[in-house]
Amino acid sequence: MMAAIILVCSVVFLLQFFVSYCRSLIAASIKQPLSAEVQDVTGIKSSASGEDFARVVQLLQLCPDRPEDRNGVQAIGAYFGLLGFVRSTVARLIPTLRTWTERERGQCTYFAAVTLERRIAFSRDMFAQQLES
């Protein structure tokens, strides 16, 4: 009985913490403007769409990754999956929830684009350092 209560509480708290954590990751990156180059590559001009997420993540995987970014990308990937699940189930019945999931999915794409920008800058720095040495 006790273990069942702990399990239910833990899962409820986990969902709340996880969603808030992912939104804090997104909020920290949403203020960062994208360079014209990344806008061209990703096709994101002013607002991002959830439909582009998979494509931007594919581009991300082409760049050398940085350990401190890896956790954020994986967490946002899981959050995007969770949003997709909500969108295809509960959000079908509640239009406001559908709008919310669409907006959140778009912000996930923007987060991935900002990470792509960082990775490109990191790769350039490494390349410049190699040329110098």
Among 52, 72, 112, 119, binds other proteins (CB under 8 A): 72
Taking the least distance from each CB to other proteins, the nearer of 18 and 55 is: 18
Indicate the helix (H) or strand (E) that contains 94.
none
Q: Does residue 3 belong to the site contacting other proteins (CB under 8 A)?
A: yes
CA atoms of 89 and 86, how far apart (whole Å): 5
| C-alpha distances in Å from residue 12, one per residue of 36, 85, 111 | 41, 17, 25
The residue among 4 and 93 lying less far from other proteins, judged by its C-beta, is: 4
CB 101 within 8 A of CB 87: yes
Footprint of other proteins on 12-51 (CB under 8 A)? 13-21, 23-25, 27-28
* Those residues with Cβ within 8 angstroms of residue 3's Cβ, 6 or more apart along the chain or in another chain: none
Q: Is 9 in the site for other proteins (CB under 8 A)?
A: yes
> Of residues 41, 63, 69, 77, which one binds other proteins by CB under 8 A?
69
How many helices (DSSP H) and strands (DSSP E) are in the chain? Answer: 5, 0
- 120 touching other proteins, by CB under 8 A: no
Scanning 37-45, 66-74, 90-98, 125-133 for contacts with other proteins by CB under 8 A, the matching segment is 66-74
Residue among 36, 41, 59, 46 nearest 112 (CA): 59
Residues that bind other proteins (CB under 8 A): 3-4, 6-7, 9-11, 13-21, 23-25, 27-28, 67-72, 75
